[in-house]
Amino acid sequence: MSLIDGAAVLPIDHLLLRADPAAPALDGRSGRYSYAELEQTLGRLAGWLAGFRLEPGARVASWMAKGPVAALMPLAAPRAGLVHVPVNPLLKHGQVAHILADSGAAMLIGTGARVESLQPGDVPAGCQVHREDDAACAMSGGDGIGPSQADPGALAAILYTSGSTGRPKGVMLTHANLWLGAVAVADYLRLSPDDRTACVLPFSFDYGQNQLFSTWYAGGCVYPLDYLTPRDVVKLVDRRDITTLAGVPPLWVQLTELDWPADVAGKLQRLTNSGGALTRPLVARLRALFPQADLYPMYGLTEAFRSTYLPPALVDSHPDSMGRAIPFAEILVVRADGSITDDEEPGELVHCGPLVAQGYWQDAPRTAERFRPAPSASRYGGVAVWSGDTVRRDGQGLLYFVGRDDAMIKSAGNRISPTEIEEAAVAVPGVAEAVALGIADDRLGQAVRLLLRGQGDDVPGAVAAHLKRELPNFMQPRDIVMLDQFPRNPNGKIDRVALAREQGA
Q: What is the pLDDT of residue 163?
A: 45
pTM, to two decimals? 0.86
Query: With helix as H, strand as E and coil as C, how does 112-181 read?
Result: HHHHHHCCCCCCCCCCEEEEHHHHHHHHCCCCCCCCCCCCCCCEEEEEEECCCCCCCEEEEEEHHHHHHH
Please count the other Cβ atoms lying within 10 Å of the Cβ belonging to residue 430.
Answer: 15
Residues constituting the chain: 505
Q: What is the pLDDT of residue 194?
A: 98
Measured CA distances, 151 to 75, 138, 179, 269 (Å)? 14, 27, 12, 36
Q: Is the pLDDT of residue 187 over 60?
A: yes
Assign 142 a pLDDT band (cuts: 50, 70, 90).
Answer: confident
Which residues, including other chains, have CB under 8 Å from residue 433's CB and lie 6 or more apart? 426, 452, 453, 454, 486, 494
Which residues, including other chains, have CB under 8 Å from residue 368's CB and lie 6 or more apart? none
Mean of the pLDDT values across residues 258-272?
A: 97
C-alpha 51/C-alpha 138 separation (Å) is 11
Mean of the pLDDT values across residues 111-136?
A: 94
Q: Is the pLDDT of residue 37 over 60?
A: yes
Q: What is the pLDDT of residue 1?
A: 63
- pLDDT tens-digit readout, 159-183: 998 644 457 899 999 999 999 999 9
C-alpha 374/C-alpha 20 separation (Å) is 40
Q: What is the pLDDT of residue 492?
A: 57
CATH architecture observed for domain 409-503: 2-Layer Sandwich (3.30)
Greatest alpha-carbon pair distance for the chain in Å reads 68
C-alpha 505/C-alpha 500 separation (Å) is 5
Q: What is the pLDDT of residue 55?
A: 97
Question: Please, are residues 229 and 200 in contact by the beta-carbon 8 Å criterion?
Answer: no
492 against 340, higher pLDDT: 340
Q: What is the pLDDT of residue 406?
A: 65
Task: Classify residue 217 as exposed, middle or buried by CB count within 10 Å of its CB (0-12, 13-18, 19+).
Answer: buried
C-alpha 388/C-alpha 383 separation (Å) is 15
Pick the closest to residue 74 from 212, 182, 191 (CA basis). 212
Phi, then psi, of 318 in degrees rounded to 5: -135, 60
Which residues, including other chains, have CB under 8 Å from residue 170's CB and lie 6 or more apart? 85, 99, 102, 103, 158, 159, 160, 360, 361, 362, 363
Pick the closest to residue 386 from 347, 413, 343, 419 (CA basis). 347
Q: Is the pLDDT of residue 505 over 80?
A: no
Q: What is the pLDDT of residue 164?
A: 40
Q: What is the pLDDT of residue 270?
A: 98
CATH 3.30.300.30, the chain: domain bounds:
409-503
Give the 3-state secondary structure of residue 319: coil
- Chain center to CA of 246: 12
Q: Is the pLDDT of residue 491 over 70?
A: no
CATH 3.40.50.980, the chain: domain bounds:
1-216
Q: What is the pLDDT of residue 433?
A: 86
**Contacts by 88-92 with C-beta closer than 8 Å and gap 24+?**
88/160, 88/202, 88/204, 88/205, 88/472, 89/63, 89/64, 89/65, 89/114, 89/202, 89/204, 89/226, 90/202, 90/472, 90/473, 90/474, 91/63, 91/472, 92/117, 92/469, 92/470, 92/471, 92/472
Q: What is the pLDDT of residue 162?
A: 60
Measured CA distances, 76 to 13, 22, 368 (Å)? 7, 21, 31
303 against 489, higher pLDDT: 303
- pLDDT tens-digit readout, 196-237: 999 999 899 899 999 999 999 999 999 999 988 899 999 999
Q: Is the pLDDT of residue 490 over 60?
A: no
Mean pLDDT of all residues belonging to the chain: 92
Mean of the pLDDT values across residues 8-30?
A: 96
Question: Please, are residues 203 and 66 in contact by the beta-carbon 8 Å criterion?
Answer: yes
Q: What is the pLDDT of residue 408?
A: 77
Q: What is the pLDDT of residue 123?
A: 96
- Alpha helices in 189-248, H assignment, sequence order: 206-218, 230-240
Pick the closest to residue 88 from 170, 205, 246 (CA basis). 205
- pLDDT tens-digit readout, 45-103: 999 999 999 999 999 999 999 999 999 999 999 999 999 999 999 888 888 999 999 99
- pLDDT tens-digit readout, 277-288: 788 888 999 999
C-alpha 454/C-alpha 468 separation (Å) is 20
- The domain over range 1-216 is classified in CATH as 3.40.50.980: yes
Q: What is the pLDDT of residue 166?
A: 54
Choose the weakest-confidence range: 273-287, 297-311, 320-334, 396-410. 396-410
C-alpha 50/C-alpha 226 separation (Å) is 29
C-alpha 289/C-alpha 311 separation (Å) is 19
The percent of residues above 90 in pLDDT, for the chain, comes to 75
- pLDDT tens-digit readout, 453-476: 888 879 999 999 999 999 999 999
Pick the closest to residue 203 from 38, 39, 88 (CA basis). 88
Q: What is the pLDDT of residue 165?
A: 44
C-alpha 304/C-alpha 370 separation (Å) is 11
